[in-house]
Structures are given as C-alpha cells and as structure tokens.
Amino acid sequence: MTSVQPEKKGRWWATLRDLYSLDMRSLALLRIGLALTLLADLATRFGDLTAHYSDLGVLPRAVLTDGILKPGYWSLHLLSGQPIFQGVLFLLAAASAVAMLFGYRSRLATVASWVLLISVHNRNPLLIFAADDVLRAVMFWAMFLPLGAAYSVDRALNTATRPIPVRIFSGATLALMAQQCFIYIFSAVFKTTNSAWWPDGTAVYYSLSYDQYATPLGHFLLNLGPLLTVFTFVTLVLECVGPLLIWSPIRHDFCRMVAVVLFVGLHAGFGLTLNLGIFPFLSIVTWLAFIPTSVWEALSKRVYGPPRSGLRIFYDADCGFCKKVVHLIRMLLVLPHTPLATAQSIPEINQAMELQNSWVIVDWKGRHHYKFEGIAYVVSLSPVFRFFAPLLRWSPVMAVGTRFYEWIATNRRVAGRFTRPFKFKPLPVKNPSWLSAIALLLLTLTFMWNLRSIVTHRSFVESSQPAVSIVRRVTNSRTAQRIDWLSRVTRLDQSWSIFAPGPPRDDGWHVVAGTPLPAPSQTDEAIATTEIDVLRPERQIAFDKPSLGDRTRFYKNMQWRTFYINLNRQIGQKVFPSYGNYLCQQSARQRHPLKDLQVYFIDERTAPPGEPQPVEQKLIWEQSCQAQQ
C-alpha cells in the first residue's frame, strides 16, 4: 500500500503539470509584448509629462494628496513636482522596459518596471482606464515567472549544464491563468446586471454610439442593425465561458488555441472599432502566453528546413567579445538551434578565419560567408527579421557594414567594453516552492478582492441572495479588513467593470471659452465680444458637434480622453480649480492671457435606437485667471 500511494500522487502531479504548464517560448512572447506595451505607454505619457505629472499641470501633488489618492497608494513620482524629476523617472522606466524587451536580467527588469508602473498610475488616478488595470495585474504575476528563459540575453549567456525545460508549472502559472479568467468573467458578471447586455442586447449599439471612443469603422457598423444584438450576445457569452477553455482537461492544446484565436479576434475587433489606446494590443499580448507547446513544435518543424538546420557559426576561441556577440546574435535573430563552435576546432575553418580576419559562417551547402556579408546571410535565415536582408545586401549598406566589421575586428578590446555588462552565468528557471506558495496565497486574496468588488457594487449591494450575503460577510470581516492594505500596496485591488455594468451613455464634448485680457488699446466692451477657444486658440469658438477627426485631435490620446470623461464624474469636481489654473497658465505661456474662462460640457446622452438624441449645453466650471497671471 505504501508504494502505491506515492505512485498515484506522482501520476496525478504529472497530469496536473502537463495540463496547466506554460511554454517558455509563450512566456517570452508575453515578456516582449509587455515590454513593447510599456514603451508605447511611456512614449504617449511622456508627451504630457508636465501637464499630467508635475505640479505645473492639472493635478498638483497637494491636490492629489487632499482626498484623491486612496490610503495605502504610493508613488515615487510624488517625491518631487518638478518636470525634470518626472523625466528622470520616465527614463528609468524606459530603461527597465528595454531591458525587459531584450531579456537582460529579466526578473529584475520586470520588478523595476512593475514598481515604476504602479508609481506613475498612482500619480494621476484621473488618467487610469481599463488597460492600465490589466497591465498592472499581468505585470504583477509576470514578476513570478521565468520570462527570460527563451529568446533573451539571459538565455543566450546561460552557462547552466542542466537543460532549460520547455515548459514550467508553478503557482505563478496557475495565478496567471486565473487572472486571465478574473478579467473576463467578473466583467461578465457585472454586465449581466444591465439590460443593455441582457436581455435587450443593445450594449454594442451603445458602445459604438459613444463618440468619445468610436472610430469611423465603429460608426459605420451602427448601420448593421440586428447584427449588433448578435455581437452583444456573442461578446457576453465569450467573456463568460471563453477563458475557461484554457483549463480544459480534454484536448487541452486544442482548447487553448481556440481561446487564443477567439480572444485575439475579439480584441482586434475592439481596436478597429473603438479608440481604446493600448488596451487591444495589450489584451492580445496576454493571450499569447497560452500558446501550447504543440503549436511551437509544429511551427519549428515547418520553419527549420535545410538552410536553417544546416547553418553553423564559428568564432575565434581567443576572443571573449566574439563569443558573446555570436551568442547574442543567435538569440536576437531567433535561431536558437544554430550550433556555435570555435574556429580552432576545425583546421580548415581556422585557416579561413585567419585568412579573412573574420568569423566563419557555413551554410547548409558548405559554402563560407565572412564579415558583414556573413551577417546579412544569417539575417536572411531569421524567421522574424529576414526582411532586413535585402537592405543589408544593398551595396552602399554592405560597403559601410564591411568597413565597420573590419574596424571591430582590429579593435576588439575597444568593442569589448560595450559587451562588458553582459556576463555568462547560469540562468535559474524553476521557482522555489516558497515563491509558488506566496503566488498562490496572493492569488487567493486577489480572488477574494475580486469577489468584494462584485458584492459591494450598487447592483449587488442590496441583494438578499444567500451566496451574496456570505461573500459580503467574508470580504467585510475584520480579518479581511486587516489585510486590505496589501491589496492597495500591490494594486491588486481589482474591479473589472469594463463597459460594465453597461456601456457609458453620457456622451458629449467639452468647450473651454476664455475672455482675453484687454490690450491697452481695447475697451472692456470689445473684449467681451471676443471670446476665444482656450484649447484651440487658433480657431473661432464653436459649440457645434465635432467630427470624429476633430475629437481625435482634441483628445490627443487615451489619457486625455479619460481625463475629460472623469471631469464629468465625482472625482472631477475635486480637480476643476487646478485644471482651471493649468489652462490659465498655459494660455499665458502661449501669449493668450485670459481674464477668465468657462468650461462647458455639451451633453449628448445616447438615446435608444431610433430615438433622437437630446443635446444640452452645461456650464460645469468657471473661474478668474487674473490671480494666475
């Protein structure tokens, strides 16, 4: 009996590991995609660094800490209100994201990126929308995963003798899978409480009618009529049950790929019809982590034909710089199976190396390639970057590249300084048991915090259902409240109300009118008749409905869109004075000093299909600018 029990446990564990492990190459795609998302997000935010993150902008630190920033939230960006300090933090975040992109010290880069991501999000809560919540959640679990185990600098310079496993199963892989389900299923639970999703089926109509987000294609699709109802129900069902496919014990590889394809298509549709910033790309990236091993193996067999499988690269054994470079090139060009060897190991190759003063590339037909032409040949075999090969073989580029290669070959010691930070060392992959235990504990708490977001929502707060009452009692218990600080510090305090419970209907647009300060030759009566559009002083003020193109120019990015939407929410009331001060100061800097300004919102509440849309002009803020001059 004693020998049977461990055997059964071993089989059970092996089955669990096979079903719910993640492929290292899929995790590498996740790492690359997250890094690109971070860089794109930072580039967008950097353009409004002063306006959004400094004391000269719409939300100075004094205003943020006076009742807007929630207890337990923290931000390194609060250490200074100067734009230069914010710029330094942005550069640090960009450097961390680049290191993450190339997989250089991957875990450290991921931790640093997560810290700086939370910091910038907490600095201005009025800019936060669904994509930011998703990015924070996925980045948290990414810190526990071996993101650098494939297609990375870490993997290229790995010296461990034990082979790196193809897949990994840990508490962190389970947490990432569960988090993906939380995002969609809890959002779907919210949506079931709103008649626009069920039973009316008008949610897609209202979403595409929301001009703050809609693209021209989205507006065009409003002509599809009854099909919009079908799209609504399909979206709701997919969010309810689609994520569960990654847990399927039956034909799990097939079910995972079905889930990946369905949700990639769903988010591509979102990106084409709605202006949602990084959200569609980020959501697609998160699904790439679940591409199964069988897909990678099939792709590898298809890609590695004779030219790639026959490629061999030889380098000078006496050149440490050369050894690092060939390992890095193999990684960067996604040719992980290409054998690397020292030229001295084969007399014929060694003779060719000394004669040409070059590395030696041997193709599948045994032909030799040298210097920069060898680089062009290796690039032509890259599954990802081969389209660069014609450019590298263009004669002007080839001539410059060859001269550069020859300079490097005769100045290896100088070139070696640039590769000095890259060290050959073992790459640890498997997480220790205690780290998996921490991930599972935090996953359990995250599940509880997600449940709390449901039962405390206005749609459930008065519910008398026994299950809701039990969950409310547990999530509001003293024990739960004592550890609630952890959710705020880690920003695992999640609520997935994405277009939920129902799509927004308070559509409209903003107009900021300003009265210019009189010039010495002007009278007050003349000034009173020359109101200007503060946000677009080169244009005559108008309250007419803007086109979608005008909206895109006005709301320059998703952060500004979200800010102006939040101006109409309760949180917006707290920032109107600082927002008004910012506009006054901006106008003065642009040589349009103002006497006063008025902020209007033209409320165009979305009406049901076939009904006219009411429009109402509302004055939501006014203030004098003379104290700011």
Whether the predicted pLDDT of 7 surpasses 80:
no
Across 551-556, average pLDDT: 85
Across 270-296, average pLDDT: 97
Residue 359 is predicted with a pLDDT of: 96
Question: What count of other Cβ atoms lies within 10 Å of the Cβ of residue 118?
Answer: 21
Whether the predicted pLDDT of 572 surpasses 90:
no
d(CA 189, CA 591): 52
pTM of structure: 0.94
Provide the residue ranges of all domains of the chain, joining segments of one domain with +.
Answer: 18-166, 170-178+187-302, 304-419, 433-498, 508-628
Q: Which fold has domain 304-419?
A: Glutaredoxin (3.40.30)
Residue 595 is predicted with a pLDDT of: 92
| pLDDT (tens digit per residue) in 463-509 | 777 877 888 888 888 888 899 999 999 999 998 988 888 899 889 99
The helix-helix angle for 279-288 and 252-273 (nearest 10°) equals 170
H-helix segments, 381-531: 389-393, 395-410, 412-416, 433-455, 466-475, 478-482, 484-490, 524-528
CA-based torsion, 142, 143, 146, 152: positive or negative: positive
Q: Which residues contact 604 (CB under 8 A, 6 or more apart)?
A: 211, 507, 508, 509, 545, 613, 614, 615
Whether 323 and 314 have beta carbons less than 8 Å apart is answered as: no
- Structure letter (DSSP) for residue 206: H
Residue 8 is predicted with a pLDDT of: 59
| pLDDT (tens digit per residue) in 350-403 | 999 999 999 999 999 999 999 999 999 999 999 999 999 999 999 999 999 999
Q: Which residue type occupies 556?
A: K
Percentage with pLDDT > 70 across the chain: 96
| pLDDT (tens digit per residue) in 434-444 | 999 999 999 99
Number of residues in the chain: 629
- Structure letter (DSSP) for residue 346: S
Across 83-106, average pLDDT: 98
Question: What count of other Cβ atoms lies within 10 Å of the Cβ of residue 422?
Answer: 18
What's the CA dihedral at 127, 130, 131, 135 to 10 degrees? 100
Residue 507 sits at φ, ψ, to 5 deg, of -75, 170
d(CA 376, CA 359): 13
Whether the predicted pLDDT of 317 surpasses 80:
yes
| pLDDT (tens digit per residue) in 54-75 | 999 999 999 999 989 999 999 9
Residue 220 sits at φ, ψ, to 5 deg, of -60, -40
Whether the predicted pLDDT of 525 surpasses 70:
no
- Indicate the helix (H) or strand (E) that contains 362: strand 360-362
Residue 609 is predicted with a pLDDT of: 84
β-pair partners for 617: 602
Highest-confidence range of 15-19, 131-135, 615-619, by mean pLDDT?
A: 131-135
Of 606, 590, 576, nearest to 512 (Cα)?
576
The confidence band for 454, taking pLDDT boundaries of 50, 70 and 90, is: confident
The confidence band for 1, taking pLDDT boundaries of 50, 70 and 90, is: very low
Residue 518 is predicted with a pLDDT of: 79
The end-to-end CA distance of the chain, in Å, is 87
| pLDDT (tens digit per residue) in 527-545 | 555 788 998 887 788 888 8
Asked which of 31-35, 54-58, 172-176, 516-520 is least confident by mean pLDDT, the reply is 516-520
Q: What is the DSSP string of 68-115?
A: TSPTT---GGGG---HHHHHHHHHHHHHHHHHHHHTSSHHHHHHHHHH
Of 509, 465, 499, 493, nearest to 600 (Cα)?
509
Of 378, 360, 381, 379, nearest to 369 (Cα)?
360
Task: Locate 448 and state its tokens.
Answer: 């509880």
Question: What count of other Cβ atoms lies within 10 Å of the Cβ of residue 552?
Answer: 15
d(CA 495, CA 411): 57
Residue 447 is predicted with a pLDDT of: 95
Q: Which residues contact 597 (CB under 8 A, 6 or more apart)?
A: 512, 513, 514, 515, 534, 580, 583, 584, 587, 622, 623, 625
CA-based torsion, 244, 250, 253, 257: positive or negative: negative
| pLDDT (tens digit per residue) in 181-209 | 999 999 999 999 899 999 999 999 999 99
| pLDDT (tens digit per residue) in 573-599 | 899 999 999 999 999 888 889 999 999
Task: Locate 162 and state its tokens.
Answer: 């034990």
d(CA 30, CA 33): 5
Residue 403 is predicted with a pLDDT of: 96
| pLDDT (tens digit per residue) in 212-242 | 899 999 999 999 989 999 999 999 999 999 9
Residue 186 is predicted with a pLDDT of: 94
Q: How many helices (H) and strands (E) does the chain have?
A: 30, 10
- Structure letter (DSSP) for residue 464: -
474 burial type by CB count under 10 A (0-12 exposed, 13-18 middle, 19+ buried): middle
Residue 15 is predicted with a pLDDT of: 84
Of 196, 128, 233, 186, nearest to 460 (Cα)?
186
Q: What is the mean pLDDT of the chain?
A: 92
Task: Locate 402 and state its tokens.
Answer: 């060859």
Whether the predicted pLDDT of 5 surpasses 70:
no
Task: Locate 397 and state its tokens.
Answer: 């580029």
Of 372, 362, 382, 376, nearest to 313 (Cα)?
362
Residue 356 is predicted with a pLDDT of: 95
Select the more confidently predicted residue: 125 or 548.
125
Q: What is the DSSP string of 252-296?
A: HHHHHHHHHHHHHHHHHHHHHHB--TTHHHHHHHHHHTT--HHHH
Q: Which residue type occupies 94?
A: A
Select the more confidently predicted residue: 46 or 193.
46
**CA-based Rg of the chain, rounded to a whole angstrom?**
29
The confidence band for 35, taking pLDDT boundaries of 50, 70 and 90, is: very high
What's the CA dihedral at 609, 611, 615, 616 to 10 degrees? -110
With tokens 């009278």, the residue in question is 523
Residue 399 is predicted with a pLDDT of: 97
Whether 177 and 137 have beta carbons less than 8 Å apart is answered as: no
d(CA 114, CA 135): 9
